[in-house]
Amino acid sequence: MRTIADIGKTRIGNAGQRLRDDPSSEMNLAERASPEDLGFRVFKLAESNFKEWQEVDMGDGASYVRQLDLYADPLLPGWNPNDVIWEVALKEGFSLSSQIERLDTCADSVFYRVLDPDRGQAIVVCLDDSVSTDAVRALELSKDDRFVCRDVALDDSLAANLALGFRLLTL
């Protein structure tokens, strides 16, 4: 094993397996109403999925406009949805123990709910290139709910209408 993290992952995995396999374990997992979660996640620090703003000369209007056009969609090429969802959740203050589930509310859009059991809060995330009013309406979000989507997925009218119904955050 090359790193302390490798040793830790192996030891934690082995300990969980022993608890599952040992019938004399003090933690009788088979008799519980809901089985104990003995799994674990491993996170690795990586580069952001978001483009970094490049400084431009504010006196040069044309280069500033070009820079703004480059950031119409702030996600880097080749981004991974799972990585972006985790990055958004962490930026919103959610813990690493948060749970992500795909919602099956609409056939033409993909929505994910991120639930932080430690804080009792959730956000709904959509990373599609476009979002329809009907698809979002099917989520039945309230004023206190947070919805995160890409800015390129909304036009000004849709963004204004959605912001009236719940807390809208855009990437």
Per-residue three-class SS string for 4-53: HHHHHHHHHHHHHHHHHHCCCCCCCHHHCCCCCCCCCCCCCCCCCCECCC
User: What pLDDT is recorded for position 105?
Assistant: 82
Identify whether residues 116 and 163 lie together within a single domain. Answer: yes
Identify whether residues 36 and 84 lie together within a single domain. Answer: no
| Whole-number average pLDDT of the chain | 89
Distances (CA, A) of 9 to 13, 26, 36: 6, 23, 18
Distance CA 121, CA 100 (A): 12
User: What pLDDT is recorded for position 70?
Assistant: 78
Q: Is the pLDDT of residue 123 over 60?
A: yes
| pLDDT tens column, 3-42 | 999 999 999 999 888 887 876 666 665 666 776 777 889 9
Identify whether residues 34 and 87 lie together within a single domain. Answer: no
How many distinct structural domains can be found in the chain?
Answer: 2
Q: Is the pLDDT of residue 143 over 60?
A: yes
Identify whether residues 165 and 84 lie together within a single domain. Answer: yes
Residues 6+ apart with CB under 8 A from 76: 48, 49, 50, 51
User: What pLDDT is recorded for position 26?
Assistant: 60
Return the residue matching tokens 């933690």.
27
The DSSP 8-state label assigned to residue 150 in this structure reads: -
Phi, then psi, of 114 in degrees rounded to 5:
-110, 120
User: What pLDDT is recorded for position 61?
Assistant: 80
Strand-by-strand arrangement of the 146-149 sheet? 99-103, 111-116, 121-126, 146-149, 167-170
Identify whether residues 92 and 157 lie together within a single domain. Answer: yes
Show the domain range for 108: 80-170
Q: Is the pLDDT of residue 169 over 70?
A: yes
| pLDDT tens column, 38-63 | 788 999 999 999 998 878 777 778 88
Q: Is the pLDDT of residue 129 over 70?
A: yes
Segment 116-137 shows an average pLDDT of: 94
Identify whether residues 89 and 14 lie together within a single domain. Answer: no
User: What pLDDT is recorded for position 20?
Assistant: 79
Distance CA 99, CA 154 (A): 26
Q: In which element (H, E) is residue 147 found?
A: strand 146-149
Q: Where residue 98 falls among pLDDT bands split at 50, 70, 90?
A: very high
